[in-house]
């Protein structure tokens, strides 16, 4: 209940400041506060986790449109090159992170893959990565990008 209360309070504060995705980052900060201050680990029931994965999948799928697919088809080569380059850089950075003894190679790879943070976190758990590390790194990266956008 305390995590939910902190999450709600932080989400409302972030929303009042006009920051993007206040509930997403409020929940991230609420969960991080719990993880850093409590000896107990939060457990999400498997059924709730699967429902969450389904919601993420539907949300991502709903963003696809025929017009976007047509445009992507016309620009397929540049899209493929940028995607492959980003993937190579992300996996290289993940490999560097995995040089630490406390980070497995699969956790390093999933933690630093760019784009699709919510989907990556959902898949990481199923493939044996430390989902806590993956989640924190993915969403901290997203937060840094969002905060840097006005400066850029």
pLDDT of residue 9: 93
Count up the domains in the chain and report the number: 1
Whether 13 is in a domain gets the answer no
Whether 46 is in a domain gets the answer no
What pTM, to 2 d.p., does this model score?
A: 0.56
Whether 26 is in a domain gets the answer no
Do residues 119 and 56 make contact, with C-beta atoms less than 8 angstroms apart? Answer: yes
Whether 80 is in a domain gets the answer yes
pLDDT of residue 69: 86
Whether 76 is in a domain gets the answer yes
Domain around 122: 66-148
Whether 95 is in a domain gets the answer yes
In the chain, count H helices and then E strands.
8, 0
pLDDT, averaged per 10 consecutive residues of the chain (152 residues), comes to 87 88 83 82 84 80 86 89 90 89 87 77 82 82 78 78
Whether 139 is in a domain gets the answer yes
In sequence order, which ranges of 17-104 are alpha helices (DSSP H)?
A: 22-37, 46-62, 66-74, 76-97
pLDDT of residue 88: 92
Residue 83: CA atoms inside 13 Å, Cβ hemisphere, count?
Answer: 8
Whether 32 is in a domain gets the answer no
């Amino acid at each position: 209940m305390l995590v939910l209360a902190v999450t709600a309070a932080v989400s409302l504060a972030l929303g009042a400041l006009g920051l993007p995705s206040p509930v997403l980052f409020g929940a991230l900060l609420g969960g991080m506060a719990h993880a850093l201050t409590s000896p107990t680990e939060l457990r999400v029931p498997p059924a709730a986790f699967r429902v969450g994965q389904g919601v993420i999948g539907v949300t991502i799928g709903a963003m696809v449109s025929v017009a976007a697919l047509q445009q992507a088809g016309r620009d397929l080569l540049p899209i493929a090159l940028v995607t492959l380059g980003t993937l190579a850089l992300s996996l290289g950075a993940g490999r560097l992170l995995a040089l630490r003894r406390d980070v497995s190679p699969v956790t390093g790879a999933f933690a630093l893959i760019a784009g699709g943070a919510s989907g990556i976190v959902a898949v990481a758990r199923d493939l044996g990565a430390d989902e806590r590390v993956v989640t924190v790194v993915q969403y901290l990266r997203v937060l840094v990008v969002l905060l840097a956008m006005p400066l850029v």
